[in-house]
Structure 1
Amino acid sequence: MSNHQVTVTARMKVKQGLEDRFKQELQTVIATTRSENGCINYDLHQSVDNPSLFMLHENWISKDILEQHLEMPYIKALSEKAAEFLVEPPEVLLWQQVVHNG
């Protein structure tokens, strides 16, 4: 799988009242990540029904490139701040597309 495109979903439950600060914290990380080599998209979503629930939806050209991203200093710094914002550890899943359009 290391040479195939990989999709990541990360579901995060933010402490009530910290939603806006969380979004601000991620703005710089999102902009920097989107400029990384091999990043196809890196998008933050907020639940319509529960404003404390967020999801990152990412696509990378390969799992190897994703692993390089996870070693970036700003990603490690964000991970260290997770307990400040999150109710529980994020639920991170890796996906591989099995049916293609076209």
Structure 2
Amino acid sequence: MIIINAKFTITEAKRAEFLEEVTQLIEATRKEDGCLSYELYESTEQVNVFTMVENWRDEQAIEGHNQSPLLQQLFKNMPEYAEKETVLNVAKTIA
């Protein structure tokens, strides 16, 4: 299994737009082959800081997800939404 954590720091002015777009992405992604879980959490200590916790079966599933039109659209819009650059952490579990 591969685990990806993506940390987003969103501007207050774009919060609603980000959440609307990311909610659509979450719903679609959960149906993708190889997606084991895909959850968005908001920090209780930092305003407008979100972490997407993704669990994937394998690299092939991630590669397919990266081609998703909804994910590509989010990537395109992130400079408009973000207060800081997105931070990604990727880990593989030991079999």
* Structure exhibiting the larger radius of gyration computed from Cα positions: 1
Paired amino acid for 1:60: W
Residue 19 of structure 1 contacts residue 51 of structure 1 at CA under 8 Å; is this kept in 2? no
C-alpha separation between the residues in 2 aligned to 1:19 and 1:51? 10
Match of 1:55 among 45, 51, 54: 51
Structure with more of its chain in helix, by fraction: 2
Percent identity of equivalent pairs: 22
What's the RMSD between the two structures over aligned residues? 1.4
TM-score (norm 2): 0.91
Match of 1:21 among 17, 32, 56: 17
TM-score (norm 1): 0.85
* Structure 2 spans left out of the alignment, 5+ residues: none
Which residue is 1:79 aligned to? Answer: 75
C-alpha separation between the residues in 2 aligned to 1:6 and 1:27? 22
Correspondence 1:1-102 to 2 at 5 A? 5-98=1-94
Q: How many residues align?
A: 95
C-alpha separation between the residues in 2 aligned to 1:81 and 1:59? 23
Tell me which stretches of 4 or more aligned residues in structure 1 moved more than 6 Å: none
* Structure 1 spans left out of the alignment, 5+ residues: none
Paired amino acid for 1:17: A
